[in-house]
Amino acid sequence: MAFEFALRAALEKLGYAEGRNLAFEPHYADGNPERLPALAKVLVQRRVDAIVAVGTASARAAKQATATIPIILFGNVDPVAAGLVASLARPGGNVTGVLIAPDGTLAAKKLELLKETVSGASRIAVLVPEHRANAPTQLAELRRAAAKLRIELPVVDVRGNDYAEAFVRIATARPHALFVLASTYFALERAPIIELTKKHRLPSMWEWREQVEDGGLMSYGSSIVERAQRMAEHIDRIFKGRAPGDLPVDRPKSFELAVNMKTAKVLGITIPPEIMVRATRVIQ
């Protein structure tokens, strides 16, 4: 996972080295949120010093498993509305966090940029994971934006990890582009999705620059490296005695617009100058 690698690198910069003063214990649910409570209990039994919970479902499972071990949420979520913290400034309890977006999910802005990039787009398909932990919030934001932009939004979910079958259903909807929902699972499983977008000649919007570097058309959001640095700083403060409830939930202040020109050429589309001038990362 790109975030895990970035977090390890950020902790190294702060003086932590695996095998000397740091130990990682990664546990993955492999796309099945029903496994999360059991995984959280394992970490509590291991008496870890802190839990990094990626996503709302992971954070909830961790919070239900322990009221004392510090939990640092990483995700695209409103932690107050989700009942994970009392407030962003004073989280209270044993949970704090590092967020991907300052307010909302950035879904509306990403849809606007995708429509601006794909001239004449009036139907944009949305790919969602089978287990929709954070999908409702993003979809609600997308639908509000789509109504203003006069865009149809056929929603297609991935069933049983069968991406080819999902793209058959996407093709049936005859969209002009594809919006890949922000999801930890799609970050891990991006390779087959990227290949299928090229096969079906679909311009695609993604969550992270790294997904664009691997062949997605474009992304808009915070930097995974910068977010990992903020996470490492929270962990460092907790290791040095700070209570997680006293650490404000960190929100990003800057965003990246990445565009892959190689993919644009494969898809046979021209990136508008208005998009190019705003791009902070262009893959040639």
Whether 131 is covered by a domain: the verdict is yes
Residues 30 and 151 in one domain: no
Q: Tens digits of per-residue pLDDT, 15-47?
A: 999 999 999 999 988 778 899 999 999 999 999
Q: What is the arithmetic mean of pLDDT over 1-22?
A: 92
Residues 112-124 have a mean pLDDT of 96
Indicate if 48 and 162 belong to the same structural domain.
no
Residue 209 and residue 230 share a domain: no
Q: Answer yes or no: is 162 within a domain.
A: yes
Q: 213-239 pLDDT, tens per residue?
A: 999 999 999 999 999 999 999 999 999
Tokens (6 digits) for 238: 């907790």
- First CA to last CA distance, the chain: 24
- Does residue 251 sit within a domain? no
CA distance 260 to 278: 14
Nearest to 117 by CA among 204, 184, 191, 25: 204
pLDDT of residue 51: 98
18 & 61 share domain: yes
Residues 177 and 267 in one domain: yes
Q: Any idea which of 92-96, 129-133, 166-170 has the lowest mean pLDDT?
A: 129-133
Range of the domain at 263: 107-221+256-283
Same domain, 276 and 157: yes
| CATH code of the domain in which 162 resides | 3.40.50.2300
Residue 70 pLDDT > 90: yes
- CB proximity list for 135: less than 8 A, separation 6 or greater: 128, 129, 181, 183
DSSP string, 235-251: HHHHHTT--GGGSPPB-
Does the residue 264 lie in any domain? yes
Instruction: Provide the edge-to-edge strand list for the sheet that holds 256-260.
Output: 155-157, 124-128, 177-180, 204-206, 218-221, 256-260, 281-283
Instruction: Determine, yes or no, domain membership for 270.
Output: yes
- At 188, the pLDDT band (50, 70, 90 cuts) reads confident
CA gap 197, 155 in Å, rounded: 15
Predicted pLDDT at 133: 63
Q: Is residue 185 part of a domain?
A: yes
Report the pLDDT value the prediction gives residue 31, as an integer from 0 to 100: 72
pLDDT of residue 179: 98
Rounded Cα distance between 12 and 18, Å, is: 9
150/273 same-domain check:
yes
| Between 80 and 1, residue with greater pLDDT | 80
Question: Contact, 194 vs 127, CB < 8 A?
Answer: no
- Give the residue carrying structure tokens 């259903």: 169
Residues 9 and 37 in one domain: yes
Instruction: Examine the domain organization and report whether 124 and 155 are in the same domain.
Output: yes
* pTM for the predicted model, two decimal places: 0.89
208 vs 223: CA distance, rounded Å: 7
DSSP 56-96: HHHHHHHHHH-SSS-EEEEESS-TTTTTS-S-SS---TTEE
Question: What's the domain count of the chain?
Answer: 2
Is 11 within a domain?
A: yes
Q: Which residue has the higher pLDDT, 152 or 186?
A: 152
Q: How confident is the model at residue 131 (pLDDT cuts 50, 70, 90)?
A: confident
CB 25 within 8 A of CB 62: no
Identify the pLDDT of residue 21.
96
Closest of 79, 106, 28, 48 to residue 235, by C-alpha = 48
DSSP 3-state assignment of 180? strand
User: Does residue 268 sit in the same domain as residue 169?
Assistant: yes
Does the pLDDT of residue 189 top 80, yes or no?
yes
Q: Which amino acid is at 70?
A: P
pLDDT at position 1: 61
Q: Rounded to whole angstroms, what are the CA distances from 211 to 35, 71, 168, 265?
A: 26, 27, 22, 17
Q: Is residue 197 domain-shared with residue 234, that is, in the same domain?
A: no
- Higher model confidence: residue 283 or residue 28? 283
One domain for residues 15 and 35: yes
pLDDT at 105 over 90: no
Q: Indicate the average pLDDT of the chain.
A: 94
Q: How much is the average pLDDT of 88-106? A: 93
What pLDDT score does 65 carry? 98
